[in-house]
Each structure stands twice: as C-alpha cells, then as structure tokens.
Amino acid sequence: MSAAAAFIVWLGAALLVLSEGRRALALGMALITVGFAVLALAGVGALAASAILVGGGFAAGRRFRSGPDAWGVMPSGSTARVVLAAAVGLPALWISTSVMTGPGAPLRFAALSVLGLMTARVLTPSEPPAVLTALAALALSVAAAAGVAGTSPGPAVYVLAAIAAVGISLIPVRELDGA
C-alpha cells in the first residue's frame, strides 16, 4: 500500500513537471495529495493525513478553477522534462531503498521525488500557475520529509504545511510575472 502511494506521489509530481494546463496541474496536485495522505496515515495518524488531504485538496481545487483551460500535458519541447522526471525518480528510488536503510523507504522515495521535481519546476522558466502549484506540493513534501525520522514528528507540522499550501494557492496568479 505504501509503495503504491509513493508511486502515485511520483506520478503526480511528474505530471506537474510535464504539464502547463490547469486540469493536468490540478490532477498532479491531487495525486500528490492522495499519496502523501496515505503515507501520513500509515506513519503519523489520521489528523496528519486529514490535514494533507484538506490542504492539498484545496490547492488542487484552486488550480482546477484558474489557469489555462486545458490539459496541456507534454507540450512541444517536453523531451527534457520527460528525462527530468525519470532522472529524478530513479536516483530517488536508489537512494531511498539502497543507500538509506531501515523502514520507511516509500516515504523517503516520495519525499525525495517531490522535493527534486518541484524544485526543478520552480527553477526552470514556468508560468505562475505551475510555479504556485509546485510550491504547494513542495510545502506538503517538507512535512512528509519530517516523517523520515524514526520518531513521529507529530501532526502539527502537517497542519502547518497544509495551511501553507492553502495560503500559497490563494495568491492570485494574475500580474505575478513582472518580467
């Protein structure tokens, strides 16, 4: 179950990297949210999972309602992004399962994948809706990364990450790109 959830998280992050339209961005965010919620339920508890669901769900909903009205998956010139999605996923898988030891490999894989892919999304030239969606996902992954420790970080970090994701999603995207 945890392994499937981790794969769903990576799939959502890859979709966020590969897409420009609001539908695909919202779907990517929703996949990340569901995956992280399952992992948080297993590792921390229901409150943490609920917080992730609410925060990520709100961010996905907001993105579905604003931005270019299309799927926009893999527009022309996406080859580098496809390579990026794989290039981040494979090392994350190797590090989380082979270099790092102990239980919790799915969570490590999910957290590392989202950290890598969302950072790449923000650092490469992107439209404001994609950047803000990536930032909301990044906030959730920061909380998820806290669960890598042997001891539970408690639900407070997840609640704060959810609040951050909601806050980031509420930023109006118009007039954000000054250049």
Q: List residues near another protein by CB under 8 A.
A: 99-102, 108, 111-112, 115-116, 118-119, 122-126, 128, 131-132, 135, 138-139, 141-143, 145-146, 148-150, 153-157, 160-161, 164, 167-168, 171-172, 175-179
Minimum gap (Å) between residue 82 Cβ and another protein: 20
CA distance 168 to 135: 7
In sequence order, what are the residues at sequence separation of 6 or more whose Cβ sits closer than 8 angstroms to the Cβ of residue 105? 96, 97
Minimum gap (Å) between residue 27 Cβ and another protein: 22
Q: Which is nearer to another protein, 7 or 109 (CB)?
A: 109
154 with 173: CB under 8 angstroms? Answer: no
Minimum gap (Å) between residue 102 Cβ and another protein: 4
Minimum gap (Å) between residue 64 Cβ and another protein: 20
> Which two three-digit tokens encode residue 155?
């639900």
* Ramachandran angles phi, psi of 133, nearest 5°: -65, -45
Q: Which is nearer to another protein, 9 or 146 (CB)?
A: 146
Q: Which is nearer to another protein, 77 or 172 (CB)?
A: 172
Angle between helices 105-123 and 79-94 (to 10 degrees): 150
Q: How many CB atoms lie within 10 A of CB 73?
A: 16
Q: Which is nearer to another protein, 5 or 139 (CB)?
A: 139
Minimum gap (Å) between residue 93 Cβ and another protein: 14
Q: Which is nearer to another protein, 27 or 132 (CB)?
A: 132
Indicate the burial class of 100 (C-beta count within 10 angstroms; 0-12, 13-18, 19 or more).
middle
Q: What does the DSSP 8-state code read for residue 96? A: I
